[in-house]
Structure 1
């Protein structure tokens, strides 16, 4: 029984992996330009068809989005640093408690 199960697994696992690889290639996953920030995907139309005011609006909106992204990343980095500092302090306190015994 165990041998039959192992034989089936040896046959099915490569088949599933091959099907998954084929699916990924068919969907374009991993190809240039097929993924990215969520705001890049819907705004891929040509700027040539826009008026001067619309082009200006697009530039302003995109610069605001980039600014907000940078601010978000800076805030996350600051929170990460504070978290790491607090964790190191707590570990130091924990070591002090164990040294006391």
Structure 2
């Protein structure tokens, strides 16, 4: 019984560490001190100083940026779910190997 508990402990600890590291990276923690995208801060010009055509372009660009951000977040979530599923499958295989030993 003690060996089974040790095997499970050895399998769960790396999984938890991987989950924590993946979560921290997805949140932007630890990457050069940044905590998310900073490109919204680059545009400081007031909208009222723009012409109607320029305002329309700004709205289109910001809309495209939001769409790309959402697509990126969806892709990252899917990739993280695939990663976690693969890791759980590998952990299960590892446990099966240790049980057979």
Please confirm whether the aligned pair reaches a TM-score higher than 0.5, indicating the same fold: yes
Residue 99, structure 1, aligned to residue 87, structure 2: no
Instruction: Flag the 1:36–1:90 CA change in 2: closer, same or farther, 3 A.
Output: closer
Counterpart of 1:89 in structure 2 is: 89
Root-mean-square deviation (Å): 1.4
Could you tell me how far 1:61 is from its partner in structure 2?
0.1
Counterpart of 2:73 in structure 1 is: 73
Residue 38, structure 1, aligned to residue 38, structure 2: yes
Counterpart of 2:60 in structure 1 is: 60
Q: For residues 35-72 of structure 1, what are the alpha-carbon distances to aligned partners after superposition, in whole Å with 9 as ceiling and x for unaligned? A: 86321111121001100000000000000000000000
Counterpart of 2:4 in structure 1 is: none
Q: For residues 7-53 of structure 1, what are the alpha-carbon distances to aligned partners after superposition, in whole Å with 9 as ceiling and x for unaligned? A: xxxxxxxxxxxxxxxxxxxxxxxxxxxx8632111112100110000
Equivalenced residue count is 67
| Counterparts of 2:46 and 2:37, CA distance in 1 | 19
| Counterparts of 2:36 and 2:74, CA distance in 1 | 20
Bigger drift between 37-46 and 83-92 goes to 37-46
Instruction: Point out where structure 1 has 5 or more consecutive residues left out of the alignment.
Output: 1-34
